[in-house]
Structure formats: C-alpha cells, structure tokens
Structure 1
Amino acid sequence: MKTRSILIVFLLMIGCVAFAQKKKPAPKKQATTKTTATKTTAKNMVIAPKSATVATKIETTTTTTKEAATTKPTTRSAFYKTPYATRNSGSFDKSTHLISLTYGFPNTLDYNGYFYSANESGIGPVTVRYEFPIREEAGVGLSVSGATKKWDYYGGYTTKITGISISPLGFYHFNKLIPITKLDVYAAVGASIDLSNYSYDDPYYNNSDTSDLEINPAGLVGARYYFTEAFSAMAEVGEGSYSIFRIGVSFRL
C-alpha cells in the first residue's frame, strides 16, 4: 500500500513537470528574436538606399561642377567652331526690331557762302531711326534727322538754315563674328536725302527764303551695349544725317 502510494505520487510529479514544460514561453522568445531580426533587417534596407542616394547626389553634383568648369573656357572656341549659317551670339536676330534716338556732333548743316565776323550757333542734329531684320545678321532701316544752324554777322543781319535728312540704310550686324550677347557691333551703308531751307534777314537777299535738295552717300559704323534685354546705349561714327559722331539709346521691341 505504501509502495503504491509512493508510485502514484511519483507519477503525478512527472505529469506536473511535463505539463509545466509544455507551457514554457520558449517559442515566444524565438518569435521575438525573429521579429527583432526582421525589424533590424528592414531598417537596414531603408537606410541603405538613403546612403546610396546621398552618395549619388554628391557624385552627380561633383560631376556637374566639373563639367561646368570644363565648358566655360571652351565657349568662345565652340562659337567659332559652329558653322557660320547657324551661329549667333544673340545680340541680333530675325526677331530684333530697333528704335533708336541719337544726338549728333558736330553739326555739319552748312551754307555755301562766307560770313565775315559771323557768330555761329545751332541745334542738333537729332535723329530717330527704325530698323527691322531681313536675316539673322542683316536689317534695313530708315533714319529721319533734323537740325538748325544760324549765323549772326556784321551789320546785324542773320542767316538761318533748317535741315531735314531722310536716310534709307542697310545694316550688317557682327553677331555671327563676335560672341558677346550684350554687344551689338554693326555697319551700314545707304543714302542721305537732305532738304535744306534757308531764311535770310539780309537786304542783299531781299529777305526771301530758298530751299535746296541734295542726295549724298551715307555710311557708318556703330555699336550698342545692352544693359537690359530691351535697353541699350549706342555710339556711331560716319557721314550722313548732318553729323559725323552720334550717341544715343536704342530700344529692342
């Protein structure tokens, strides 16, 4: 009896130990470890592309900077290597319409005579010009100039001349030869149609007025520099429009 009781108790103890082992949280620990490992792996997978992206960006920026540094010195040579028909600095093209306003000096409006002890004075010439393009490097224009000149001479007599000059001109722009966007260098040839009106306060001319019409060749060389896309200052030298030198401004429409 006693031995049977001891055997039963022993079997019960073995059963309890076996039941307790079944309820141990060992599998949960393994799952947690796996999850942690998965999370760590996931984090690493996210971080890796970011690092790669940053590296790529730095590499791209460095490459772009190197390319820019390489391109700048070769811009002018690249301009001249481009075929003449397709190159253009941008200072003039088929869309460039110009209105210019200039003041000329010296005033070459003159009288075919001699005034002894005469005081000379004058205004102008003031010139307004419109030019429109016909090619990438060429245009045609029309200038209208006005000037006056007056002589006060011995005896209190005066002679006054008022002149109007109309000049059709053909322009060539050096935009295919000079690689500077803001600088427009040009030359022009044409004719100057000059109408002069003389008024006299002189008894020898019976206080009468006379007029004179002449057609003279005209030619000039000039340059304008653009301070903005539409506004530029200009200077010219050449015969025509009652002056030799002219300075003024231009507006690109």
Structure 2
Amino acid sequence: MKRITLIQKMWSPVALGLVALVSVNAQAGTTEGTAPKDAPKTETILLASNATAAKAPGLTLTYREATSSYKPFSAKRAPQAAVTAGVGELKIGYVVAMKGSKPNGMFGPISATFDKALNVELGPGVISAGAGLSFANWSDDEYEIESSLTTIVISPRATYHLDLLQNDNLDLYGGLAFNFAIANYSAEYTGNDPDVKKYFQDVDESDTDSELALLAGATYYFTEKFGGFLEVSTGDWNRASLGVAIKF
C-alpha cells in the first residue's frame, strides 16, 4: 500500500517549490494489507525544483531512500536491594564512641568487618553472617610511670538487611554480635626515686571479657561497589563507628 502526501507552498512570484513525501511500508513476502508490526520502514522522498522546471517542459524529480528500524522503548529496571543473596561486604572504620569516654592518647579502635549475604530470604530482606575485628592501643607516661593498654576484640555476627525502601544505594541493617575481648595492661616506673622503686610493682597482665551486643547500621553506596557506613552498637567496646564499605 502506498500513501502520497503532497505539500505545496508559494515562496515568491518567480519560484515555486514542490515537496512530495511518499511513505512505503513493505516487507518481502507480504501482500496487500497492513504490514507486519516489526517491518522496516522505507521512506522515498521526492524533491522538485522550480528552477529546473523552468528550463524543461516538465518537473525534474530526484529521490533518495532511507530505511530505519524502530526499536521498542527499553524497560526501566526495577530497583533492587543494595545487598542481595551472595553479596559480600567489607567495612573498615574508626570507632568514634565507646562506653564512657576514650582515654587521652588512645589510638583507635580501628575496626574491620566482613559480612556475606546468605541465600536465605526472610520477608523483605536477606540474612548475612560474618565477623569483625577491632584493635586499640592506649599509652601514657605520667608521674614517671609508663603504662599501656592494648585490646583486640573478635566479633562473630549475624545481620539482617532490610529492603523496604527499594533503593539500590541504601542498605539498612540490624543484627547481633558476640564480642570477645582480649586486653593486655602493663605499667612500669621509669623514675629514679628509690622510695617509689621500693614500693612500686611493675604490672604486666592480661584479661578477657565477652558480651552480647545489638547493632544497627546504614550503608550508602556512592557507586556500585564503594560507599560509606555508620554503625551503632550496645557493646562496651564499640558504641558507634563510621568508615568505608566495599561490596563484592
């Protein structure tokens, strides 16, 4: 089937332009009727020049053909959770708050956690299992007594990643951690007072502690793999920490 649309407009008393557009929808093997939906569209454009027509008894027509394929609009991807089954997360952070206040001169605690999302979906989210490790050191040299405290905390943990907001970038989670802490404390008198040396006893001892802590946090991924996080906990060793997150 052919449909011809003719548009004519007067440009000036001397020149007259004629433009005709012929649209042909066809496909090899089709008969008279509506062309298949996915058939290529072929356009034949006829151009007429009045200047050429003035030199010849009739109009001289030129044409060109252009074939284009129409692609359907791409469907928008439905948003997914930032953490899905099989995803691993490495978080490296600095503990900004502990129980009470940090002693002056304390380094850290520096924390690192790794969580792996299991293939276990529970409601609008997934369950992750992992562990954390933190390290802190405190030292002081007051009244000619050198003292130091070093702590290492190992924390097996389980977290639940909630996907109520349907956001690819934001991960909200909560969970439970078992903190096992190893602490080493030492103190030594470095002065020259014989009376202090006589009564002061050097200290070098270790101790352990354990606790069960609730935790909650949020991670925002600026890119597909890299983001930042904030996590709070009820534990004595880690009340609030923030840092960077890497997704695998």
Deviation at 1:151, TM superposition (A): 3.7
Structure whose residues are more often strand by fraction: 2
Q: Summarize deviations over 1:50-106 as a string: whole Å, max 9, x none.
A: 59959xxxxx99x969xx8xx99xx8xxxxxxxxxxxx8321111211111011123
Indicate the residue corresponding to 2:112 in structure 1: 128
Q: Distance in 1 between matches of 2:168 and 2:101?
A: 40
Does 1:223 pair with 2:218? Answer: yes
2:158 maps to a residue whose letter is G
Higher Rg of the two aligned structures: 1
Task: Confirm or deny: 8 A CA contact 1:147 1:242 kept in the other structure.
Answer: no
Q: Does structure 2 retain, via aligned residues, the 8 Å contact 1:222–1:237? A: yes
* 3-state SS in 2 of match to 1:92: coil
What amino acid maps onto 2:244 in structure 1? Answer: V
Which residue is equivalent to 1:102?
A: 93
Three-state SS of the structure 1 residue aligned to 2:22 is helix
- Contact (CA 8 Å) 2:147, 2:185: kept in 1 or not? yes
Task: Please list every run of 5 or more consecutive structure 2 residues that lacks an aligned counterpart in the other structure.
Answer: 5-20, 27-34, 36-40, 43-69, 190-196
TM-score normalised to structure 1 length:
0.60
1:49 positional shift: 2.5
How far 1:173 moved relative to its partner? 0.6
CA distance, structure 2, for counterparts of residue 182 and residue 42 of structure 1: 52
Structure with the larger RCO, 1 or 2 (CA within 8 Å, 6+ apart): 1
Report the Cα offset of residue 250 of structure 1. 1.0
Where 1:47 maps in the other structure, the secondary structure is: strand
Instruction: Report the CA distance between 1:121 and its aligned residue.
Output: 1.5
1:143 is matched with which residue: 122, 132, 140?
132
Report the counterpart of residue 245 of structure 2 in structure 1: 250
Query: Which string of whole-angstrom CA distances, capped at 9 and with x for unpartnered residues, describes residues 136-187 of structure 1?
Result: 411011001000123444x221321000000011101112x22111000111
AA at the equivalent of 2:217: G
Change (3 A) 1:243 1:222: same
Q: Is the 8 A contact 2:160 2:175 kept in 1?
A: yes
TM-score, normalised to structure 2, is 0.61
Answer yes or no: is the 8 Å Cα contact 1:109–1:163 preserved in 2: no
Identity %: 24
Structure 1 Cα separation of the partners of residues 245 and 235 of structure 2: 19
Kept in 1, the 8 Å contact 2:89–2:116? The answer is: yes
Deviation at 1:216, TM superposition (A): 1.0
Identify if the C-alpha distance between structure 1 residues 229 and 49 changes in structure 2 by more than 3 Å, giving closer, same or farther.
same
**Count of residue correspondences:** 180
Q: What's the counterpart of residue 159 of structure 1? A: 147
Q: Which amino acid aligns with 2:234?
A: E
Distance 1:151 1:209 in 2: 15
- Whether contact under 8 Å (2:231, 2:241) holds in the other structure is yes
* Residue of structure 2 in register with 1:201 after alignment: 188
Of the candidates 157, 166, 170, which is equivalent to residue 179 of structure 1?
Answer: 166
Do the aligned residues in 1 keep the contact of 2:95 with 2:108 (CA within 8 Å)? yes
Root-mean-square deviation (CA), in Å? 3.6
C-alpha contact (below 8 Å) 1:162/1:197 kept by paired residues: yes
Equivalent residue for 1:235, pick from 221, 230, 236: 230
Deviations 1:35-56 (A, max 9, x none): xxxxxx9895x934259959xx
**1:145/1:48 CA distance change after superposition, 3 Å:** same
Q: Which runs of 5+ in 1 are unaligned?
A: 1-40, 55-59, 76-87, 112-118
Contact 1:110 1:149 in 2 (8 A): no
How does 1:3-152 map onto structure 2 within 5 Å? 47-49=22-24, 53=41, 89-108=80-99, 120-134=104-118, 135-136=120-121, 137-152=126-141
1:101 and 1:183 mapped to 2: Cα distance? 18
**C-alpha displacement at 1:130, in angstroms?**
1.1
Q: Could you tell me how far apart the structure 2 residues matched to 1:129 and 1:42 are? A: 69
Q: 1:130 to 1:42 in 2, by over 3 A?
A: closer
Q: Is the 8 A contact 1:102 1:128 kept in 2?
A: yes
More helix by share: 1
Distance in 1 of aligned mates of 2:101 and 2:73: 64
